[in-house]
Amino acid sequence: MTGTIAAAATIPAPQIEWSLLSPMLVVFGAAIIGVLVEAFAPRLMRRPLHIVVTLGGLAVAFILAVVIAATDSIFADGKPGRVVAVGTVGVDRPTLFIQATILVLAFVSVLLIAESSHEVSAFTPQAAAVPGSAEEREGLLAGLSHTEVYPLTLFAVGGMLLFPAANDLLTMFIALEVLSLPLYLLCGLARRRRLLSQEAAMKYFLLGAFSSAFFIFGVAMLYGYSGSVQLAAIATAAQSGTASATLLYTGIALLGLGLLFKIGAVPFHAWKPDVYQGSPTPVTALMASCTLVSAFGALLRVFYVAFGQLTWDWRPVMWAVAIVTMLLGSVVAITQTDVKRLLAYSSIAQAGYVLTGVIAANTAGLSGSMFYLAAYGFATIGAFAIVTLVRDRGGEAAHLSSWAGLGKRSPLVAGLFALFLITFAGIPLTSGFSGKFAVFSAAIKGGALPLVIVGVVTSAILAFPYVRVIVLMFFSDPAPDGPVVVRPSAFTGVAVAAGAAVTVILGIIPEPLLSLANHAASQLFVR
Amino acid sequence: MSTFPWLTVAGAIPLVGALAIMFTPGRSAPGSVADRRARDLLVKQIALATTIVTLAVTIAMAVQFKPGSTQQFQFQQVYQWIPQFGVHYAVGVDGIALVLILMSAVLMPVVVLASWNDAEGGPDPAGVTSARAVRGTPRVHSVKSYFALMLVLETMMIGVFAATDVFLFYVFFEAMLIPMYFMIGSYGVGQRQYAAVKFLLYSLLGGLLMLVAVIALYVYSGEHGRHATFLFSSLEHLALSPTASKWLFLGFFVAFAIKAPLWPFHTWLPDAATSAQPGAAVLLVGVLDKVGTFGMLRYCLELFPSASHTFTPLVIVLSVIGILYGAIVAIGQRDIKRLIAYTSVSHMGLITLGIFVMTSQGQTGATLYMVNHGFATGALFIIAGFMVARRRSQLISDYGGVQKVAPLLAGLFLIAGLAGLAMPGLSTFVSEFLVLVGTFTRYEVAAVFATAGIILAAIYILWMYQRTMTGPVRDEVASMPDLKPRELWAVAPLIALIIALGVYPKPVLDIINPAVHRTLVQVHRTDPVPPHPAPAARGVHTARKQGSSA
């Protein structure tokens, strides 16, 4: 393709397959409409308009992704998919599966973001005001709200869609930045505990910037090695093995570092508890579900396509990362007293479980990881949605001790939270079990039995903090001035219900989604 | 062979009952105290009716069962559940599973009757004065959830014995923990939270180790181009490498050893049984523990015959230690429920011993013992529970002279206790005798030590009886009423069964024997021929003839 550019005297218009890119284009388009709404619509109209545009955009993008996946001509001649937009984007079944997952999860997360009933709104009225200042109080009294969160979310989701689809490393880097920058902003917008929120945004931004730098440094190394940023070209160069291996291994390490940072694998996990705790809870839900799915999608593509021939080289390191991730996530989770930090460490451990699927490096590993991510994403959003509902005077009742006796006050909410915890613990008949089963069986097939044993042992460790929360909610007595469960509006209600329904359904009849994931993974990624 | 889905129906009835209970109006519904009483009564009646119908269905199924059939499993149903993982909804029973399902179905109505008032709370009988008790407000619980949990547990108990797909078995095995966890944690007494969490974490750890083995078994079954599956009938004939076989055996065995519990994995049981209400303790010790020994017999031995041989000496040593340790520690207990829990540790050791000596007497005896132990220990727990409910204390030293004020209670307690120490004429004697004989033909030393456990059993049971029931009547006990009709109805069937099976165990033995022989064939073991027909061996011979002359 570079040849055509060199040969022609005039620069020809690149061939862009608009229809195959349409899910991403729709999301970015909706984001831009959101910016226009922010600029021109009267203040009172903004929120309803934003909700319609955001949810509509995500829904349309989802439908388009499904339509593309159902179009047989793309997968003609037994090809796993097509490389489009001058070789920068791969459209194949795994990517479409991941994108569709992200879109559905983002839809549910936006429902949480849109919640604004009386006290439950998660966002500060005026982010620029100094915490505790007079301006802030004024903003609060004037009923201001940051409706920019909707377009920001859409931009982030657009980046998340492109991240796992990117077929060359530069596109991937741009997608990484597009998804990260809005998230840095969103992290700092919490309505309560503003300083904590700003600290979270700052930390996430600084560490994220470092990891981006490492990522782009890795891209440079790999370009030096193979003379291309395209994943397939790197794979070819690695196969011939003529250039300096030092460049290759440094490149893999730095690139892997950037990707592992985004999924929060140990030792690149330090941001996760702080950021999850400080961010507005709906944004945490978005990050814990969609960002994780997207980052894993990119990780899977890079390691299966570009480094697919080098399994023996990267696997030992990934083994170590997966083991320490599972161990540290589960052990440190025991000591947590803040519910969001607990969920953050649990999310670290869960990332470790998905890594066992990645390490399997076979179709079963790919489909298992994708299934796990979808199942886990829904349960996570549901859990964070419930966190937004349990409130005391200072906002969300973050400290676990104030959750004591919740089961006696509001059995339904406590019961649902227990359901999500049981899912995270991987008890049978919940989606978490189906997911763990999928990745662990893939890992055993891929010859990683010790990894599975570590996974199982850490699951037992991780069950302890979950069980402790359940004990606290159901067996302890409520404190007299304990938190109350606010009545959610339909938005949060739907989000919780969706999480619970998917958790139970995927636990009892995982077959449809599993066969979909298997079908999507059957030919791996397009090269 | 009838095609009626007996097992599915038997398993579904309690679930339907649980749903029906959940849809009755709850405690928070408007109405006076009398209305609330009436609602609670309705819940209990639904629970009792459901368990009795389930029992009727299981009895009807048992009547249809053909012990002489050449099929391994009867009443089989196999449907695909998750085709990608080779998971089936597959149920079926052999003789061993059938008698265990029957035992669970018999225990359930008994437990419902015995737990009639347990969910309503009251002062803590464990003697622990909590802050709440000081304020004088008794704990109030949802009667609805207690009985619904119990019925859900019954579904899972039937499912776990009926499953013939390893995955399905695992699902029931793990899911069973949740209702029991809430029954201990929410409705128990004393250190119930600690006990519930300990129970859950122990079992979960064992279960997860088993999960690794289950997944590995599945992966191995897919080697050499076969279609990977979880169906027991396909896995049974899987040729595994010796190393793999050993590791997988251990994965399953540790899970079952925790569940059984076998020494040294037993520490959760005394805590859990002490903190659970008597009804829950009956289900815990009577049924859930049997899942462990049942698993050893069905899964450890049949799936990994060669590894079973390798580990036999180890298991026999652990079993004998368990028999003696449980008995000795039981003697020293001051809490009556804790004492019964430790006797169970001792008896479960005897059952694992009977399973792993790999003789037909041993395994038949062990299976029969599982059933008898469920009835005998169940009766002990329930009667002790009645006594504790009257005096509000679990400490043995708080009682004395009960037989003078409540002769019926004391008399039935004595029968149940004597069943615990394997008195001839009571059901446990037959099974204990078979186990010991079966052990002696192959491991004489182990049999000698195990027999010593029976002497210790006489000490702990009779001494407990002496301290609680005989002697001068203590003041606190003086006004203790004797058994009420409801309580009598709860215990009477168990006592009747203990006596009936002690006199005439043949019907149960007839059902068990073919399944045990099949197991022994699968593990390639035959009964040793005694060098000199000693009197004891002749006794066995007649016992076996009696069993197999169906």
The predicted complex's ipTM stands at: 0.77
User: Any CB–CB contact under 8 A between B85 and chain A?
Assistant: yes
Nearest CA in chain A to B141: A408
Residue with more model confidence, B518 or A166 = A166
CA distance A318 to chain B (A): 21
User: Between chains, do B219 and A477 touch, taking CB under 8 Å as contact?
Assistant: no
User: Between chains, do B219 and A437 touch, taking CB under 8 Å as contact?
Assistant: no
Nearest CA in chain A to B206: A460
User: Between chains, do B212 and A452 touch, taking CB under 8 Å as contact?
Assistant: yes
pLDDT attached to residue B137? 40
Q: A7 in a domain, yes or no?
A: no
Please tell me the distance from the alpha carbon of residue B196 to that of residue A66, in angstroms, as a whole number: 46
By the 8 A CB rule, do A97 and A301 touch? Answer: no
b/e map A97-108, b = 16+ CB within 10 Å: bbbbbbbbbbbb
CA distance B130 to chain A (A): 12
Q: In chain A, which residues have their Cβ closer than 8 Å to the Cβ of B132?
A: 477
User: Between chains, do B81 and A460 touch, taking CB under 8 Å as contact?
Assistant: no
DSSP A17: -
Nearest CA in chain A to B216: A444
Percent with pLDDT over 90 in chain B: 45
Strands A390-392 and A484-485, bridge-based pairing = antiparallel
Angle between helices B444-469 and B407-420 (to 10 degrees): 170
Q: Residue B67 is inside which H or E element, if any? A: none
Question: How many other C-beta atoms lie within 10 A of the C-beta of residue B424?
Answer: 11
Selecting from A428, A441, A460 the residue whose C-beta is nearest the C-beta of B215 gives A441
Nearest CA in chain B to A471: B193
User: Any CB–CB contact under 8 A between B216 and chain A?
Assistant: yes
By the 8 A CB rule, do B516 and B364 touch? Answer: yes
DSSP B68: T
Q: In chain A, which residues have their Cβ closer than 8 Å to the Cβ of B186?
A: 474-475
- Top residue of B135, B141, B144, B200 to mutate, by most chain A CBs within 10 Å, is B200
Selecting from A453, A456, A474 the residue whose C-beta is nearest the C-beta of B186 gives A474
DSSP B401: -
When pLDDT is cut at 50, 70 and 90, the band that residue B134 belongs to is very low
By the 8 A CB rule, do A290 and A123 touch? Answer: no
In tens digits, chain A (527 residues) has pLDDT values of 455 555 556 778 888 888 999 999 999 999 999 999 999 999 888 889 999 999 999 999 999 999 999 988 888 777 888 898 888 999 999 999 999 999 999 999 999 998 876 565 778 877 777 887 888 778 777 777 788 899 999 999 999 999 999 999 999 999 999 999 999 999 998 888 888 999 999 999 999 999 999 999 999 999 999 999 999 999 999 888 777 889 999 999 999 999 999 999 989 999 999 999 999 999 999 999 999 999 999 999 999 999 988 888 889 999 999 999 999 999 999 999 999 999 999 999 999 999 999 998 888 999 999 999 999 999 999 999 999 888 887 778 888 888 888 888 888 899 999 999 999 988 888 999 999 989 998 998 888 888 998 998 898 889 889 988 988 888 888 877 778 888 888 889 999 999 999 999 999 999 999 999 999 998 888 87
Which residues are B77's β-sheet partners?
A: B91
User: Any CB–CB contact under 8 A between A475 and chain B?
Assistant: yes
When pLDDT is cut at 50, 70 and 90, the band that residue B132 belongs to is very low
User: Any CB–CB contact under 8 A between B244 and chain A?
Assistant: no
Please tell me the distance from the alpha carbon of residue B527 to that of residue A151, in angstroms, as a whole number: 78
Nearest CA in chain B to A477: B132
User: Any CB–CB contact under 8 A between A119 and chain B?
Assistant: no
By the 8 A CB rule, do A19 and A68 touch? Answer: yes
Q: A8 in a domain, yes or no?
A: no
If DSSP states are collapsed to H, E and C, what string results for A348-410?
HHHHHHHHHHHHHCCHHHHHHHHHHHHHHHHHHHHHHHHHHHEEECCEECCEHHHHCCHHHHC
Please tell me the distance from the alpha carbon of residue A505 to that of residue A497, in angstroms, as a whole number: 12
User: Between chains, do A460 and B84 touch, taking CB under 8 Å as contact?
Assistant: no
b/e map A322-354, b = 16+ CB within 10 Å: bbbbbbbbbbbbeebeebbbbbbbbbbbbbbbb
CA distance A428 to chain B (A): 5
User: Any CB–CB contact under 8 A between B448 and chain A?
Assistant: no
User: Any CB–CB contact under 8 A between B218 and chain A?
Assistant: yes
Q: Which of B300, B294, B198, B322 is nearest to B252 (CA)?
A: B300
CA distance A56 to chain B (A): 34
Q: In chain B, which residues have their Cβ closer than 8 Å to the Cβ of A476?
A: 193
Please tell me the distance from the alpha carbon of residue A292 to that of residue A346, in angstroms, as a whole number: 13
Q: What is the identity of the amino acid at A302?
A: V
Selecting from A444, A456, A515 the residue whose C-beta is nearest the C-beta of B219 gives A444
In chain A, count H helices and then E strands: 22, 5
pLDDT greater than 50 at residue B129:
no
Q: A2 in a domain, yes or no?
A: no
Q: Which of B193, B105, B96, B125 is nearest to B519 (CA)?
A: B96
Please tell me the distance from the alpha carbon of residue A306 to that of residue A238, in angstroms, as a whole number: 8
Long-range contacts of B88-91 (CB under 8 A, 24+ apart): B88/B165, B88/B167, B88/B168, B88/B229, B88/B230, B88/B231, B89/B165, B89/B168, B90/B163, B90/B164, B90/B165, B90/B168, B90/B231, B90/B232, B91/B7, B91/B8, B91/B11, B91/B159, B91/B162, B91/B163, B91/B164, B91/B168
Q: Helix (H, G, I), strand (E, B), or coil: what is residue B149? A: helix
Q: Residue A90 is inside which H or E element, if any? A: strand A89-92
DSSP B93: E
- Top residue of A433, A437, A451, A515 to mutate, by most chain B CBs within 10 Å, is A437
Q: Is the peptide bond before A14 cis (omega within 30 degrees of 0)?
A: no
User: Any CB–CB contact under 8 A between A249 and chain B?
Assistant: no
DSSP A479: P
Please tell me the distance from the alpha carbon of residue A269 to that of residue B279, in angstroms, as a whole number: 47
CA distance B218 to chain A (A): 8
Write down the domain spans for chain B.
6-542
User: Between chains, do B215 and A452 touch, taking CB under 8 Å as contact?
Assistant: yes
Q: In chain B, which residues have their Cβ closer than 8 Å to the Cβ of A518?
A: 84
Q: A144 in a domain, yes or no?
A: yes
By the 8 A CB rule, do A351 and A295 touch? Answer: no
Please tell me the distance from the alpha carbon of residue B115 to that of residue A347, in angstroms, as a whole number: 41
User: Any CB–CB contact under 8 A between A514 and chain B?
Assistant: yes
Q: In chain B, which residues have their Cβ closer than 8 Å to the Cβ of A445?
A: 219, 222
Residue A425's domain comprises 15-521
Q: Which of B304, B23, B11 is nearest to B175 (CA)?
A: B11
Torsion of CA A502, A507, A511, A512, to 10 degrees: 0
CA A209 to chain centre: 18
By the 8 A CB rule, do B356 and B315 touch? Answer: yes
* Phi and psi angles of residue B161, each rounded to the nearest 5 degrees, phi first: -80, -30
CA distance B108 to chain A (A): 24
Strands B87-93 and A395-396, bridge-based pairing = unpaired
pLDDT greater than 80 at residue B121:
no
If DSSP states are collapsed to H, E and C, what string results for B373-400?
HHHHHHHHHHHHHHHHHHHCCCEHHHCC
Q: Helix (H, G, I), strand (E, B), or coil: what is residue B323? A: helix
User: Any CB–CB contact under 8 A between A522 and chain B?
Assistant: no
Per the structure, how many domains does chain A have?
1
pLDDT greater than 50 at residue B133:
no
pLDDT attached to residue B537? 45
**Across B98-107, B201-210, B387-396, which has the greatest mean pLDDT?**
B98-107
Q: In chain A, which residues have their Cβ closer than 8 Å to the Cβ of B209?
A: 456
Q: How far apart are the first and last CA of chain B?
A: 19
CA distance A508 to chain B (A): 9
Q: What is the identity of the amino acid at B394?
A: Q
User: Between chains, do B85 and A514 touch, taking CB under 8 Å as contact?
Assistant: yes
Which residues are A518's β-sheet partners?
A: none
CA distance A514 to chain B (A): 7
Q: Helix (H, G, I), strand (E, B), or coil: what is residue B91? A: strand
Q: A47 in a domain, yes or no?
A: yes
If DSSP states are collapsed to H, E and C, what string results for A180-249?
HHHHHHHHCCECCCHHHHHHHHHHHHHHHHHHHHHHHHHHHHHHHHHCCCEHHHHHHHHHHCCCCHHHHH
CA distance A67 to chain B (A): 25
- Top residue of B172, B215, B241 to mutate, by most chain A CBs within 10 Å, is B215
pLDDT attached to residue A523? 85
